[in-house]
Chain A
Amino acid sequence: MIEIKQVSKAFDGVKAVDGLSMSMNEKEVFGLLGTNGAGKTTLLRMMTGILKADSGKITIDEKEVYDNPKAKELFFFIPDDVYYFPLAKPKDMAEHYKGIYQNFSVEYFNEMMERFGLDRNRRVNTFSKGMKKQLAVILALSAQTKYLFCDETFDGLDPVIRQATKSLIAQAMEDRGLTTVLTSHNLRELEDVCDHIGLLHQGGVLLSKDIEDLKIGVQKLQVVYEDENDSQNVELQMEILDHKRQGRLHVYTVRQTPAELDDLFGKVKTVLYEILPLTLEEIFISETEVVGYDISKIINRSL
């Protein structure tokens, strides 16, 4: 388990992370979301023992991370800008990591290199950006660590490779209980892989929840009442997060379970009553508007 307790970090007087507390369970995919400057990379670099927190504590399996090889043995970090030795080949990098990580699997490495069509004997500096990231993921998974930290790793990958990479990670999670922490400023990127989402904003945590909890707790429904007067009564019985109206069509976002809504609308005559699937983006908008943030200004809505 990863515990982050009241961690702060400032650069030249500017707080990049401010009193942040969070925990990440094992065998989950944790997504760290936020725009540029939110503190994602800074937090990740503190979690990987590169940066020292100004205050607070970060532990992995109850071991403090900073300058602690025992803690660092537990994870592999793939940064946004991956470093390779000059003139190195993939097999050279594998050789290097084999000496660093006791459980590094050369067989797995070779197999993955073949599966992804990457040449082990070709110099890495001749690879494209996407190929370098692929190699980074292969090396990371070959290290067979308990945790994997990825900083905007999927950026720059084509959709096919991105999907293949995600399935590799998923396979590793299933096979050996890998715990993955991903950062991104793309909500759609995280939507289909993450179990838990943490939203960072200006160095702090805006929101940290399981996706299932988010989805269960918030529903979107379309309603057309037979008698428009019924709407007032129904609305009083719902915890409405968002309400849009187009003529007689009401679109509600409410904090209610489907069963509660079925029960409520069962007593009202409606022309149309439908519960719609919510995107993560919509959930976020709803959740953050409640606390007064205009989330559309924070997250990237790109596809």
Chain B
Amino acid sequence: MTFQKLLTDHYKNRLWLVVLTALGSLIHYVLIPALFLGGYKVSVVTEGNKLLTVKDAMQIAGAEWFNFSLIFGMLEIILLAAITGIQEFSYLYKNNSVDFYDSQPVAFRSRFIINYASGIIMFAVIYAIGMIFGLAVITACGSGCPALYTGILESYLWFLILYAGIYSFAVLGAVVSGNLFIAFLAGCFISGIEFLFRIIIFGGMAQYFTTMYHIADSEIIRPRSLPLAWYFSYIGDVLSADVDKMEFVTAIPKAFISSGKGMAVCLVVACIACTLAYVAFINRPREAVEKGLCFPILESFVKISLGILGGILTGTISDMIFSSVFSFSVMTFVVIAVVIALICLVGEWIFSLNITKVFNKVWQIPLCIIAAFAVIIIFKQDAFGYDSYVPGVDQIESFALYTQDNYSYSIITTDEEGRGINQDREEYLRNNLSLTDAADVVEVAKIGMKERRKLFGRDSTDFSRPQSWSVTVLYRMKNGRQIWRQMEIPYDIDHAPMDNIIGSNEYKDVYFDLNKTIEGLKDAVSFDTKGRLSLSYNTAQNNETASAEIDDVKALFKAYEKDLNKYDFSYSQGNVCIGTVDVNFAPVSQGMSAENLYRTLPVYEGYDNTIKALKEKGLFLDPLPDIENVSFVIAQYDKVNENGELERSETARYDEKDKISELLDSADINCYGDWSRYSYSMEDISAIVLSEEEIAEAGDTDDPDYYWNHDIGSTYTIRKENIPDFVKTDLGL
């Protein structure tokens, strides 16, 4: 019988699969777009100041359907691929069908090829036909445009690759199993084991390694062998485009090109799975009908893998619950042993389908316990030196270093199309900060890593509040690797290496890239001419805001750049950050709105040019009030216990100018720019400063709550170490 005849014969006897696939294709490419787009009502819409045409609006609707189809399509494909993959080889689960097929004059190789290929060909052909209908539907609905046409073609290719990957996993699961239930579990195991491994190891690292930087190192979790993970990256790029701004026109083809590597990896993975499935099929003992897995060694592999991973996960959680992360806990050991025993016994029960055989191969239990515990010990003891790792100077290509203690979470910049966007500060620094002073970063890192271990790790002896900055470092190595660490730079670190890093032009040009902010604002303003651009100046107590033009921002930034020449680490330590200047753009477009853009810059007391520019704009506020204008000051101390409950409250009022002066001198006016020292203490006090005008308006009372509740006066914090002696006496400190 020719291949074609065998294939035709094959489909005739699996018509329901063909029908199911055709149904999926029909729903995906015809029914949903027809319902979605056919009933779409176009209302008058604006994009910025531009009135969109009906054609644009329908294309946007088409793009919305396309985005939905990527997610819905993924679910369809998972279902179809899994069902088809298992079904194609389900004849292996009954003796009568095995006898029927295997006694026929068809080579096992041919049988595998026919059964495997039929699933792929069926999907490819049916979905291709569906896709053609889909193109016709969106054209008929008026949503057709080159981006969507190519997007549909490209997504079809992705669907095919995703299907091939999941299908191959399902086939592999089917041919190594003796029944449907085990085939389903095997497919899940094959698909998920890498992800499970990664997430458990990541969890362990996150718990036991104090210098691990969780956000960036979450890349560890992403499974490389799972086609779905690569597909998520592709659709993530597509879905992140703003449909209303018609960004899909460039985003769709770009996402496809960027996903080239992912597609290649998925194809390779599918090929590997297919090859393994072929080898398993050829060597499969046909008497394995209704058994668990066909190869006993596979059963052991599955049980041991799950036992060890389950043990590590259990140990990690147990250490967290019993607070024994860096110590030995008998309870953790017991819990690990119990969980592993359960996994192995239940696993044996599932494979043998016979509860009387659960104690077969009990040797696997102690093996898993020892292995899991060994991994936990490796984590606890940091046997591979993760928490003390600092690369060699000559291994580093470049690095990024920045503090986590920061006032600003976003930076105004532009995307690849020149559109003004708010970019996450960390993401921006990660992608753009590229420093080359490797010697200094190594020196700083050695200190920082040790401090981190001392404060949070296994060497921890000091449980008081950290006197350090949380800092993230990214090493870009010469061998292409990227290594992240979290560390604590102590307040009393030697300034020299920090000055070399923070004071370098490499650092400041990126960290304070004001040109990018101007470009972003320009784009936003031109896109939404009715949007509101403003400048604000903020002190610890007050703020002043004024609307602005681009030129105002440029002028201010020009002054700021001059002041930046002074800035380095030592400068930040020796000068107080007396305020922050905020640039804000608020769009007013309805519907398809431009993004709200926001950036904050620190102003130090020595930033003469910036302060002058602010004064010219009428924004500058003195950090402290004029003493002549102060009526009185109320000092207040609230003692709270460990539970946060107020134990006692003491107040003292000062009308004398000399005392007022001393109090104002002691007040903390720090607005906390980068590298500011945080030294909050429970013994800090508050000082409410009331001006003459405020008293005239509100009235005179000694009750600080009155002023606090009515937002009258300016409240300052006086740090414990700066409290004047007379205040200490009066408040009983």
Contact = CB atoms under 8 A, between A and B. Distances in A.
B105 A73 contact: yes
B196 interface: no
What is the interface residue range for chain A against chain B?
20 to 34
A201 B104 CA distance: 28
Interface in B1-31: 1, 5-6, 9, 12-13
A49 B1 CA distance: 19
Given A45-B99, A100-B106, A52 B5 contact: no
A83 B96 contact: yes
B83 interface: no
Contacts of B108: 67
A88 B13 CA distance: 8
B6 A82 contact: no
Contact of A50 (B1, B6, B107, B286): B286
Contacts of B110: 69
Interface in A29-76: 45, 48-52, 67-73, 75
Interface string A78-97: 01011101101000100110
B98 interface: yes
Contact of B105 (A70, A85, A95): A70
Q: Is the interface of B mostly helix, strand, loop or mixed?
A: helix
A83 B110 CA distance: 20
Contacts of A75: 103
A99 B6 contact: yes
A99 B285 CA distance: 27
B283 to A, nearest CB: 9
Contacts of A71: 105
Interface string B279-310: 00010011100000000000000000000000
A77 interface: yes
Q: Is the interface of A mostly helix, strand, loop or mixed?
A: loop
B9 A50 contact: no
A67 to B, nearest CB: 5
A49 B102 contact: yes
Interface in B361-388: none
B272 to A, nearest CB: 24
A73 B12 CA distance: 23
A204 B1 CA distance: 38
A83 B99 CA distance: 8
Interface in B73-116: 94-100, 102-108, 110
Contact of B99 (A73, A77, A95): A77
Contacts of A99: 1, 5-6, 9
A77 to B, nearest CB: 4
B13 A50 contact: no
Contacts of A85: 13
Given A49-B102, A50-B99, A67 B286 contact: no
Contacts of B106: 69, 72, 100
A83 B103 contact: no
A176 B70 CA distance: 62
A101 interface: yes
A18 to B, nearest CB: 16
Nearest to B2: A99
B107 A67 contact: yes
Nearest to B99: A79
Contacts of A72: 103-106
A72 B103 CA distance: 7
A100 B96 contact: no
A51 B12 CA distance: 27
B22 to A, nearest CB: 18
Contact of B97 (A49, A83, A88, A96): A83
A99 B97 CA distance: 18
27 contacts: A48-B99, A48-B103, A50-B102, A67-B108, A68-B107, A69-B105, A69-B107, A69-B110, A72-B104, A72-B105, A72-B106, A77-B99, A79-B95, A79-B99, A81-B95, A83-B99, A83-B100, A86-B13, A88-B13, A92-B12, A95-B9, A96-B9, A96-B13, A99-B6, A100-B104, A100-B106, A101-B105
Given A73-B105, A79-B95, A96-B9, 11 more contacts: A48-B99, A50-B286, A51-B285, A51-B286, A67-B282, A79-B103, A81-B99, A82-B100, A83-B100, A99-B1, A99-B9
